[in-house]
Amino acid sequence: MEKEKIKVALVGQPNVGKSSLINAIANAKLHVGNFAGVTVDISEVKTTYCDPEGCGEYEITIVDLPGTYSLNDYSMEERVTKEFLLHEEYDLIVNVVDSTHLQRNLLLTAELLELGQKMVVALNMIDEAQKEGIEIDAKQLGVILGVPVVPVSAKTKEGLDKLKASIVEVYKKPKTESKIVYSDFIEEEIDKLVKFFEAKHYPSEIPYRHLAIRLLKEDTQVYKRMHDEPIWIELLPLLRDALDHIYLHSGKKDINEIFADEHFAFAKGAKMEVISTRSMRAKNLTQKIDNLLINKYLGIPIFLFLMWGLFQLTFSLGQLPMDWIQAGFDWLAGETHRVLGDTELASVIADGILGGVGAVVSFLPNIIILFFGIALLETTGYMARVSFLLDGFFHKFGLHGKSFVPLVTGFGCTVPAYMAARTLKSRTDRMITLFILGFMSCSARIPVYVLFAGAFFGAEHAGNILFLIYIAGALFGLMAAKVLRVFVFKGEDDPFVMEMPKYRLPSLKLIYHIVAGQSMDYLRKAGTFILFASVLVWFASNYPKNPELEKRFEAKIAQAAPQEKAKLQGKLQEELLAQSYLGQVGKATQPFFAPLGFDWKLGVALEAGLAAKEVVVSTLGVLYSLGDSVDETAHSLQEQLRKHITLPVALAFIVFVMLYIPCFAAMAVFKQETGSWVYLAYLFVGTTGVAWVFSFLTYNVVKLLV
C-alpha cells in the first residue's frame, strides 16, 4: 500500500528550536544554529507515521522555513518565508512556539492564523517552561486559537508522537476558520467587505474574511491581482472609507503598525488566559497598572466605583443644560400659542411636536456625558481589562468575558450592541448575549429613569438611583444568561481570546467622533421617529372630539364659583382623554397592567415605548399636560407624576421599563442577527413576562413596606 504524502511548512521565530525539533522527529542530522546564510536556505526532512485508527501510513515531508519574527518584507528571512507560505504548495503549517516566551511567539502565530491554512502549534521547550515555574494550559490555548496545540520537547522527545498524530488528524479534516478576532472597529470593516463580496458572488480562492483582512493590510500582491478586475472600481471607495475609519480609531496611519498592535493585544490576551506562574512581579509601568486594574480583589470595586462616578456625573452635570433646553422648548411652545391662538394647529405644534420632542431632546446632555464616559474608558484600553477581569465571573453565568463589550455598548444603544455581538465566535455565547442585551438599560431609557428618580427621590439622590437601576438590569441579564445556558442553549463552553491592547492616551478626535455619532443618532430618532410618535400620541389623545360633552362642561364652568372652575376644567380634560382613541387603547389593555398598579395612562406610555423608549416620556408629557399651561418644565411633569402615582407604582414602572423589550429598531436588528422570527417572538414574550412578574413583585413588596 502506497504511503499518503503530507507536506508540512515548519514556521517559527528564531531560536525556538525548530531545527532541534526536526532532528528529534526524523532522527535527521541538520546543522543547528542561526549562522549567517544557514537558515535562509530551505531544508527538508522526511518521516513516516502509521495511523493506528485509519490503518494508513503517511510520509510527512517537513519543510524548515527560515526563522522569522513576522511575515513582513523587512528581511530576507521574512520574504522567503512569506513567499513560500503564500505561493507554494503545502498541506498545513506547524508553528513552533517557545513555551518560555509565549506572548512574544504568539505574535507570529496571529499572523499565521490570518492565512486561513490548516495549522498545528507545537509548544516547544515545555520542559524548560516547567522548570521556570510556568504552567501553560495547552488544551485551553488550542480552544482559544481554534487549532491543536501540542506540548513538545525536542530535548526530551516528549510529545513527538502526539505531534505527528495531530499533523495527520488536521490533514484529514476540512479547514476550520481560526478564532483570531480584532478590535470592533476593524471587525466592522471586515464585515462590510465580506458582505460586499457575498453580494457580488466574487470568485475567490481564499475565504472572503481572509481576503478582506489582506486587503485591509494592504497586501501588495492582492492589490495587484484585483486592480485589473471590474470589481475594483466599486471596491476602492469601500477600502478608502474602511482605512479612514481604522486610522481614526487607532490614531495611526501605518497599517502594519496598527495590525502589529492588534497582534500584540491578541497575544497578550491569549497568554493571560492560559498561563500561570509562581511569581507575577511587574516589570514595567503597564504591568504595574494591570496588576492594579485586573487585581482579583481590587479590580471589580475599582470598576464599580468608576461606573458609579460616571452615573453621578451624568445626572449632576447634565441637570443645568437639561433645564435650559427644556425652558427653550417651553418658550417656543408659549410663543406658538401666542401667535396662533387657541387653535388645533397651535395645539399640535406646541403640545404635540414641541412638547413631545422637547421632552426627549432635553435629555441630550445626559446622553452626551454617558457616551463620553464610556468612550473614554474604551479608547484608553481599560474596557478590555474589565472584560478579562470579569471573564471568570461571566463564565459562572454561561457567558464569555468578551460578552462584556456588547453589554457595555448596550448601555449606549441596543442596536450597535446587537451588532457588536458578532465578535463572539461561539454561536452559543452570541445567542445568549443577544437575548440578554435588552436588560442593559440603553440611553433611551435614561429620560424615564431621570424623570421618575427626580420626582420620587429628589435630584440629590437621582444619580445613585440611576446607578442602582443599571446594576439591577445587568444582574437580571446575568441571571437570564444562566437560565438560557442551562435550559435553552446547552453545550460546552467555547472560550476564545480576549485582546489586551496597549494603554493609550485618550484621543479627543476619536472620542468626539464616537460621541458625536451616537448623539446624532439620538437626535435623528428625536427628529423623525419620535416626532412622528409624538404627533400620533397628540392626535390619539385629542380625537375623536365630543362637542356635546364640551358644551355641557362649559355651561357648568360658566356658572361655577372661581375655586370650582379649575376642578371642572380638569374633569373635562380627563373625560375627553378617557373617550379619545388613546383612552380606548388604554382602557382595553388596563386589565393586563392593573395588577401592577398602573392606570391606563402608564399602560399607554409603555405601549408607545415599543416604538422608542424616549417616547415614554413624551407620551407622559402629552397625557399629563392636557388642560394645563403649555409653559411647563420637566419639574412640573414630575409634580404631575407625584400627584397621580404612588411610590410602589413608580418603582414598579421603572422595573417594567428596565426589563421589557427594546425598541422596534433594535427588534429588527435582533431578528437580522439571529436570522429567525421565532427567536424574536421568544424575546418579546420572554422579556414582557419577566418585566410583568418583577414589576408585580416590586409593587406588592414596596406597598407592604411603605
For the residues of 236-303, what is the DSSP string, one character each?
HHHHHHHHHHHHHHHT---HHHHHHHHHHHHHHHHHHHHEEES-----SHHHHHHHHHT-TTTHHHHH
pLDDT recorded at residue 266: 85
Q: What tens digit of pLDDT does each residue of 658-703 get?
A: 999 887 767 877 887 888 889 999 999 999 999 999 999 999 999 8
* Residue 630 in grid coordinates: 403649555
pLDDT recorded at residue 500: 66
Q: What tens digit of pLDDT does each residue of 342-362 get?
A: 777 887 787 777 766 776 677
* Confidence label for 657 from pLDDT (cuts 50, 70 and 90): very high
More confident residue, 33 or 231: 231
Q: How much is the average pLDDT of 124-132? A: 84
More confident residue, 499 or 376: 376
652 pLDDT more than 90: yes
Dist. CA 646–CA 252, nearest whole Å:
55
* Confidence label for 631 from pLDDT (cuts 50, 70 and 90): very low
Percent of the chain with pLDDT over 70: 85
Answer yes or no: are the C-beta atoms of 412 and 371 closer than 8 Å.
yes
pLDDT recorded at residue 51: 67
219 pLDDT more than 80: yes
Find the DSSP H helices in 349-445. Answer: 355-361, 364-379, 382-395, 404-412, 414-420, 427-436
What residue segments make up the domains of the chain, in order of their start?
4-172, 184-279, 303-543+613-644
* Residue 581 in grid coordinates: 382613541
Q: Is 88 helix (H, G, I), strand (E, B) or coil?
A: coil
pLDDT recorded at residue 35: 34
pTM greater than 0.75: no
Q: Is 397 helix (H, G, I), strand (E, B) or coil?
A: coil
Q: What tens digit of pLDDT does each residue of 23-80 get?
A: 787 765 444 444 334 345 667 777 777 766 655 688 888 888 888 888 876 677 788 8
Most confident option among 60-64, 311-315, 327-331, 590-594: 590-594
Most confident option among 237-241, 489-493, 573-577: 237-241
Dist. CA 319–CA 355, nearest whole Å:
18
Cβ contacts of 587 within 8 Å, gap of 6 or more: 578, 600
Dist. CA 540–CA 431, nearest whole Å:
38
Dist. CA 469–CA 698, nearest whole Å:
13
Answer yes or no: are the C-beta atoms of 450 and 363 closer than 8 Å.
yes
Burial class (CB within 10 angstroms; exposed 0-12, middle 13-18, buried 19+) of 409:
buried
Answer yes or no: are the C-beta atoms of 369 and 318 closer than 8 Å.
yes
- Per mean pLDDT, which range of 123-132, 478-487, 620-629 is the poorest? 620-629
User: Would you give the DSSP letter of residue 41?
Assistant: S
User: Would you give the DSSP letter of residue 94?
Assistant: E
Q: For the packed helices 208-216 and 232-250, what is the interaxial angle rounded to 10 degrees?
A: 60
Task: Locate the DSSP E strands across 441-551.
Answer: none
pLDDT recorded at residue 32: 41
Dist. CA 379–CA 251, nearest whole Å:
10
Q: What tens digit of pLDDT does each residue of 105-127 get?
A: 898 998 898 888 889 999 988 88
CA dist 158 to 14, 21, 25, 126, 139, Å? 21, 11, 10, 9, 16
Q: How much is the average pLDDT of 425-444? A: 83
Cβ contacts of 400 within 8 Å, gap of 6 or more: 391, 394, 424, 426, 429, 493, 494, 495, 496
- Per mean pLDDT, which range of 112-121, 541-550, 626-635 is the poorest? 626-635
Dist. CA 699–CA 329, nearest whole Å:
34
- Per mean pLDDT, which range of 66-70, 330-334, 402-406 is the poorest? 402-406
Q: How much is the average pLDDT of 506-531? A: 74
Burial class (CB within 10 angstroms; exposed 0-12, middle 13-18, buried 19+) of 248:
middle
Dist. CA 238–CA 241, nearest whole Å:
5
Q: What is the mean pLDDT of the chain?
A: 80
Cβ contacts of 174 within 8 Å, gap of 6 or more: none
Q: How much is the average pLDDT of 430-440? A: 89
Question: What φ, ψ does residue 560 adopt, rounded to 5°?
Answer: -80, 160
CATH of 4-172, one of 3.40.50.300, 3.40.50.720, 3.40.640.10, 3.10.450.50: 3.40.50.300
pLDDT recorded at residue 636: 66
Q: Is 406 helix (H, G, I), strand (E, B) or coil?
A: helix
More confident residue, 548 or 483: 483
Q: For the packed helices 220-227 and 208-216, what is the interaxial angle rounded to 10 degrees?
A: 110
Cβ contacts of 641 within 8 Å, gap of 6 or more: 451, 452, 455, 456, 620, 624, 650
More confident residue, 460 or 141: 141
User: Would you give the DSSP letter of residue 609?
Assistant: T
- Per mean pLDDT, which range of 86-95, 305-314, 494-503, 658-667 is the poorest? 494-503
Answer yes or no: are the C-beta atoms of 10 and 18 closer than 8 Å.
yes
More confident residue, 541 or 223: 223
For residue 486, the tally of other CB atoms under 10 A from its CB is 10
- Residue whose C-alpha is closest to residue 310's, from 411, 390, 184, 393: 411
Cβ contacts of 660 within 8 Å, gap of 6 or more: 438, 606, 609, 687, 688, 691
CATH fold group of domain 184-279: Helix Hairpins (1.10.287)
Dist. CA 623–CA 98, nearest whole Å:
69
Answer yes or no: are the C-beta atoms of 407 and 442 closer than 8 Å.
no
Percent of the chain with pLDDT over 90: 12
pLDDT recorded at residue 694: 94
pLDDT recorded at residue 375: 82
